[in-house]
Structure 1
């Protein structure tokens, strides 16, 4: 059997070995009162363990290796970080008696690990080439285990994403409104145009926009101008007006637009063209005032949704998707799915981040509740889990599965996964 240290960590952590009459290689009886907490950083593998060896109760660290000789191979005998190790746990003790007598107590797990457990582990991690390692066995996991684990990985996802929010908040000197505005702009660009949207927002502070709230044309001129779309010559009256307004405002505020070539139109539906999304963003800026302050005060999802519903763009866009390119008349307000996307990727994230920053559970809870009230995302990753029988109803579920796939399945971290753990323990 090709044992790995990861597998031995798992066995030790959950005590999945024969604990009957445990003893060190020197013949002293061993009682594992607490295996310790796993250490994912440098140093011994488990810390704060409590182990009785002979008549002495020890408190300290545990180091785990496949072979006892790895202690010297890894240089632990010269490392002061390992001086507080009270037990060396190994699968195989391959150290000579003369060397063994000079080392700390060794517990050998050879012959104490169930072969079926290792077979399930090997088949799960190495026995298939599927992207989702438990494709053939996830259906055996009970719903309670799956739901509990999905909740945990969803929180992990929000924790990781909130780190970027709080870092940007620090850059903005604690200004939540400005930070929200920048993230909201990036969300307006979806994945394809998120970067230029964010660059545009950072080049155009809300403080400037706030001075022109009563002039939709000037707001639109500032947004399109900073996005780099007003550098051309135009024939239509509307873009001509925008260019004139922007020329004056650009000099007034010493603004520098981003490069127009950064925006992508290729292989996009016209409703997602950046020009139309910029028009909608400008309309939202005109319509809203202190938007984030409103959001943290609104607990009702329907009311939150209404903040973005029916955002009316300039009538020029009724029959245009791009400047000077006429199209058939069509409604250009933000669709329900676009609003759901903003609620999922920006509002829920900011509620969670705000609650985390100020240690107010009500906001983190509201973030989770909001995700439970939004429809599940429809994409290839989510559909893969659906095809395996996983029940998905809301964005809470789909976001959890996206995190499960990216952080666990893709890296075959089955031993750290609640689903993988359950499968390995099934008999």
Structure 2
């Protein structure tokens, strides 16, 4: 059998023999327009223009693998299918009828297909490679790859926009709070993102502003509400615990429970304790970070935000409480700042600009992304080895979206690269 979505693809791009087409009733068929692919309920292709016999029809096209599916799916009882002008089937072109009792002309597509497109589809869909098109990706033109990357980058921003919009509603339109939560998520990296997000929801940003001239109080707030002070013994941690106990009583603070902060199999610089200390330093220096972000005209101005903040000296020889290490840098690395730019500042600026209708600010956010160097991660490196090379953060973000939402789900027929590979067969 053949997949119905492949039949949709074949019909949409006319990848079948179109010479001397006849219905199962021997009426000549001439296709002027295959119709618009319908991803919602109803017939598969809408507003097609097809000559059947001596009559030019405008209406819908329904596609099935087996002609009997018309009845199995209940279309013969559904008035929404009364405007179907052609039933396209891979096999079994038995007579079928609309809800009003009229007969629907049928085109038997199976005998019109070349075996090459079906074999190529099966080869791509049924292999166990890292990505389905692994053997063919390098042969796809640079133009098609560029179009695919641009589309994936926009889709990723739209996904982020939806999440940020939900955060905007949750915070009752407080953009400073929206940015804080997004930054928390980014500071958590992949491993601790969810725990950092939960912390971002319980921390009261107005208290961070209140104590902006007392950075130790900000550290006490973040570490205390994160639940990371409970079992610590050294003097610095005991001081923070005492400070947090006072602040909790004074402000009725909530403490996270039931979250396991992860330290295993990661670089010490990404330990949640060290990242929280850095986040506290950023907000001690920039309590109104969203407002400052909007004044930045270039990436360099945005990156300058992170030039000054420095965590407490305790963290110069610690990555976590009670475990002393050799001395190391306190400042954020360039790669981590780029990570924050890509995953927090650009999406938030883009979402704010879109929501407010500020086209110039939207363009600025996209420019920031385009001028940021490509991310160095396993997914980007793997695509590069297979012939799709990322040139900027726009491309690396696109590849992350492509892998998770298309390649891993084998949505090849919804991908421009998949189209090019199957069409070339």
Between the aligned partners of 1:286 and 1:182, the Cα distance in structure 2 is 16
Q: Which runs of 5+ in 1 are unaligned?
A: none
Between the aligned partners of 1:25 and 1:374, the Cα distance in structure 2 is 58
Aligned to 1:387: 385
Asked whether the 8 Å contact 1:86–1:105 carries over to 2, the reply is: yes
Aligned to 1:358: 356
Q: Give 1:5-404 correspondences, 5 Å limit.
A: 5-95=4-94, 103-126=103-126, 128-232=127-231, 234-236=233-235, 238-259=236-257, 262-404=260-402
SS in 1 for 2:58: strand
- Deviation, 1:295, is 1.8
Between the aligned partners of 2:288 and 2:131, the Cα distance in structure 1 is 43
Q: Number of residues paired by the alignment?
A: 423
RMSD between superposed Cα atoms in Å:
2.3
- State the TM-score, normalizing by the size of structure 2: 0.92
SS in 2 for 1:262: coil
Between the aligned partners of 2:380 and 2:96, the Cα distance in structure 1 is 55
Asked whether the 8 Å contact 2:234–2:321 carries over to 1, the reply is: no
Between the aligned partners of 1:276 and 1:97, the Cα distance in structure 2 is 68
- Deviation, 1:63, is 0.5
Asked whether the 8 Å contact 2:232–2:322 carries over to 1, the reply is: no
Asked whether the 8 Å contact 2:61–2:84 carries over to 1, the reply is: yes
Between the aligned partners of 1:298 and 1:314, the Cα distance in structure 2 is 27
- Deviation, 1:125, is 2.1
SS in 2 for 1:200: helix
- Deviation, 1:426, is 1.9
- Deviation, 1:98, is 11
Distance 1:193 1:98, change over 3 A: closer
SS in 1 for 2:373: coil
Distance 1:387 1:235, change over 3 A: closer
- Deviation, 1:232, is 4.3
Between the aligned partners of 1:230 and 1:132, the Cα distance in structure 2 is 44
Distance 1:11 1:360, change over 3 A: farther
- Deviation, 1:399, is 1.5
SS in 2 for 1:32: strand
Between the aligned partners of 1:56 and 1:361, the Cα distance in structure 2 is 48
Between the aligned partners of 1:416 and 1:268, the Cα distance in structure 2 is 35
Asked whether the 8 Å contact 1:229–1:260 carries over to 2, the reply is: no
- Deviation, 1:156, is 1.2
Q: 2:406 aligns with which of 401, 405, 408?
A: 408
Between the aligned partners of 1:244 and 1:299, the Cα distance in structure 2 is 42
Distance 1:83 1:34, change over 3 A: same
Distance 1:96 1:169, change over 3 A: closer
- State the TM-score, normalizing by the size of structure 1: 0.92
Distance 1:195 1:82, change over 3 A: same
Asked whether the 8 Å contact 1:66–1:90 carries over to 2, the reply is: yes
- Deviation, 1:261, is 5.8
Asked whether the 8 Å contact 2:12–2:37 carries over to 1, the reply is: yes
- Deviation, 1:233, is 6.3
Per-residue Cα deviation, 1:323-373 (whole angstroms, up to 9, x for no partner): 333222222211111111111111122122223323433344333322222
SS in 2 for 1:111: helix
Asked whether the 8 Å contact 1:371–1:396 carries over to 2, the reply is: yes
Q: Which runs of 5+ in 2 are unaligned?
A: none
- Deviation, 1:376, is 2.0
Distance 1:320 1:23, change over 3 A: same
Between the aligned partners of 1:424 and 1:315, the Cα distance in structure 2 is 59
Asked whether the 8 Å contact 2:93–2:107 carries over to 1, the reply is: no
SS in 2 for 1:91: strand
